[in-house]
Structure 1
């Protein structure tokens, strides 16, 4: 999986999360299962994102075969990495 993050200069809105799950991941049933899993993983972690944060997760084809725990650990790692990157470069508009 890949992740992209940004903190909007207008941090009056809550953190937002988006998902990209292309047809390369699998058929519609598989893509929807991956999206449901990712939504649940992010639902419990949304409060850890800063206000105004924009976080996009792009699922790669391997996500179709991954167990929930694998997806969860990878998303957690990506969030930590993104948070550190944002802190190191400051706010970007």
Structure 2
């Protein structure tokens, strides 16, 4: 990977503008669960919470003590992530175990 291009930065800024529109989350028609790292220093948990509050079909779960890369965390945090994932996605545990 290299440094971000101007095109990537422009697309990222445009996406952030769209997501920050108050009506964006309310227009989503698919269930969403956001798993946030409690000790994230890269992504704002306050921004995630604000966004999650706008959902009709969504929720936010904060994994306390976790850093940004949740799936590279200690086993207890990864287990908490997978438990939330399995509870959200029907049949996910069966497919992962097979």
TM-score when normalising by structure 2 = 0.29
Q: Which has the higher strand share?
A: 1
TM-score when normalising by structure 1 = 0.29
Tell me which of the two structures has the higher relative contact order, counting C-alpha pairs closer than 8 angstroms and 6 or more residues apart.
Answer: 1
